[in-house]
């Protein structure tokens, strides 16, 4: 190691050396940066929701166009995740991660400066592209930075809490920034965070080895376009109904492309998503649990926000703070998972988490005009937060267990694709049920929507019972290989 004139190792070299040997301070900084990135990416899917009325007044959006302030980000993020994961496997996860965060940061600045609707939508779409390349790399870098065992378990728990809490944190932060500054602040807030991540990541995080290979172009096309069309179909279903021409067309094209995808991947020499990842029963169960959990949670948050503001009369800021117990319960439950998983395996943890979510959602089906926050909201959000903490952390552990280093990006992208697709699915289904059941009373529609959410949680219970293998305490792949 080259030293300066005084015989000391220069600071940048010491940082790089620490990253190479995984020193504790550098690992802590790495976990902070990667978790902060994931929190920011998930927050951006919901942070603009409370600011939408201000955005509409400021830029003159139509009612139809306004929804695309959210959808442009969701569509680009969800559609490009698998491509972003494979890019990291081939080119190096740190390199692709930093590039994705840089694009996300520049796009956030551009969106905050927007003076026309088209400008803002372009910025939101570019944010989604950056997020799709940064997100899989963040989780893959957690796996490569922290060795197997308790240290990785704790790191994965922190990372997953950041990802799961982001949906609620976005509502709180959006309310604060919109009330105290302006709608532009919900985009500008990403800039210092992103700049810090770009500057510090090379000093704290090792680069993963580059893999020899090339992109599977046919697989990249079918999975990217098919995923984007699937998310778009759910968006259109929520806006125009399941029988609308655009909805049916999007779902039909998505079904065709996604059906071709495994055929192409089976023949590809270097597939964008190795099909052997689906040969593990527990991993498939973890991915589906993540899908169902996010579907239930996104739909619940959507309609609870409407209920708390429209029926209980809370303002945007008070509404955001009303969801804080969800995050508190989520963090508390998630801290137990690294201790429970090696002893009991994923099945009882998934069952307990799914049961808590189911009880919370069934409780919400009883909403009434005379209900209060303490009698109708606090209990369900605490239960749902605790259940989410158990399921999301355990699902991440199981999905990432025993994954080859060259496939960590693809696996990370699959897990995050389930989250993005589940969010769109949950809102689309619950909005459709709400519209079909509300009749003359708005609360009838909300009760119908929460009933549909309870069906998702029942699916989680069934999945936890059927998909995961039974294991004696202290044994099993999930506990011993993570």
How confident is the model over 404-456, as pLDDT tens digits? Answer: 777 888 888 888 888 888 888 888 888 888 888 887 778 899 999 999 999 99
| Residue 328, number of CB atoms within 10 A of its CB | 16
pLDDT at 207 over 70: yes
**How far is 93 from 170, CA to CA, in rounded Å?**
26
pLDDT at 65 over 50: yes
**How far is 233 from 216, CA to CA, in rounded Å?**
25
* Digit-coded pLDDT (tens) for 238-264: 778 888 898 999 999 999 999 999 999
**How far is 204 from 390, CA to CA, in rounded Å?**
29
Give the pLDDT score at 457. 97
pLDDT at 130 over 50: yes
CB 80 within 8 A of CB 231: no
Helix ranges (DSSP H) in 311-440: 316-322, 324-334, 337-344, 346-364, 378-400, 408-437
* Digit-coded pLDDT (tens) for 316-361: 778 878 888 988 999 899 889 988 888 888 899 999 999 999 999 9
DSSP 1: -
Least confident of 49-63, 100-114, 279-293, 347-361: 49-63
pLDDT at 269 over 50: yes
Give which of 66, 171, 158 is closest to 120, Cα–Cα: 66
* Digit-coded pLDDT (tens) for 40-54: 988 887 788 778 888
Give the pLDDT score at 11. 41
* Digit-coded pLDDT (tens) for 372-415: 999 999 999 999 999 999 999 999 889 888 787 778 888 888 88
pLDDT at 208 over 90: no
State the residue for tokens 């498939």. 284
Give the pLDDT score at 15. 39
**How far is 215 from 103, CA to CA, in rounded Å?**
21
Enumerate residues 6+ apart whose C-beta is below 8 A from 196.
Answer: 33
Give the pLDDT score at 240. 80
Residue 122 exposed, middle or buried by CB count within 10 Å (0-12, 13-18, 19+): middle
CB 76 within 8 A of CB 70: no
**How far is 88 from 413, CA to CA, in rounded Å?**
10
- The CA–CA distances, whole Å, from 108 to 54, 73, 75, 112 equal 17, 11, 16, 6
């Amino acid at each position: 190691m080259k030293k300066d004139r005084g015989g000391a190792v220069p600071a940048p070299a010491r940082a790089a050396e620490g990253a190479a040997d995984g020193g504790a301070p550098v690992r802590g900084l790495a976990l902070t940066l990667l978790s902060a990135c994931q929190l920011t990416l998930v927050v951006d899917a919901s942070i603009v929701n409370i600011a939408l009325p201000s955005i509409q007044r400021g830029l003159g959006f139509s009612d139809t166009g306004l929804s695309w302030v959210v959808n442009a980000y969701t569509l680009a993020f969800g559609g490009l995740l698998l491509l972003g994961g494979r890019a990291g496997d081939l080119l190096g996860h740190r390199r692709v991660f930093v590039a994705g965060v840089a694009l996300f940061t520049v796009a956030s600045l551009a969106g905050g400066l927007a003076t026309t609707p088209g400008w803002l939508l372009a910025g939101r779409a570019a944010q989604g592209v950056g997020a799709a390349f940064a997100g899989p790399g963040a989780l893959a870098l957690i796996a490569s930075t922290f060795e197997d065992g308790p240290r990785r378990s704790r790191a994965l728990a922190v990372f997953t809490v950041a990802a799961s809490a982001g949906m609620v944190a976005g509502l709180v932060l959006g309310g604060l920034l919109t009330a105290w500054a302006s709608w532009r602040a919900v985009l500008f807030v990403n800039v210092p965070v992103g700049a810090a991540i770009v500057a510090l990541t090379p000093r704290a995080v090792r680069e993963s080895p580059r893999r020899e290979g090339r992109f599977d172009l046919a697989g990249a096309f079918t999975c990217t376009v098919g995923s984007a069309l699937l998310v778009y179909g759910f968006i259109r279903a929520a806006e125009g109904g399941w029988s609308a021409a655009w909805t049916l067309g999007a779902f039909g094209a998505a079904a065709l492309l996604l059906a071709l995808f495994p055929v192409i991947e089976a023949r590809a020499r270097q597939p964008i998503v190795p099909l052997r990842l689906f040969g593990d029963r527990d991993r498939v169960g973890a991915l589906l649990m993540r899908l169902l959990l996010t579907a239930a949670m996104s739909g619940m948050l959507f309609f609870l926000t409407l209920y708390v503001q429209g029926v209980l009369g809370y303002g945007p800021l008070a509404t955001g703070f009303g969801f804080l117990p969800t995050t508190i319960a989520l963090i508390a439950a998630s801290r137990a998972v690294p201790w429970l998983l090696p002893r009991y395996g994923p099945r009882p943890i998934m069952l307990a988490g799914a049961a808590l979510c189911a009880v919370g959602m069934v409780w919400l089906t009883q909403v009434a005009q005379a209900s209060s926050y303490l009698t109708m909201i606090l209990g369900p959000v605490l239960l749902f937060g605790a259940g989410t903490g158990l399921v999301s952390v355990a699902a991440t552990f199981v999905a990432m267990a025993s994954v080859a280093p060259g496939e960590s990006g693809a696996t990370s992208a699959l897990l995050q694709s389930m989250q993005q697709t589940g969010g769109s699915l949950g809102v689309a289904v619950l909005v459709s049920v709400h519209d079909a059941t509300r009749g003359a009373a708005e609360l009838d529609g909300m009760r119908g929507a929460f009933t549909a959410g309870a069906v998702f949680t029942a699916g989680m219970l069934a999945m936890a019972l059927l998909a995961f293998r039974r294991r004696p305490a202290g044994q099993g792949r999930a506990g011993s290989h993570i």
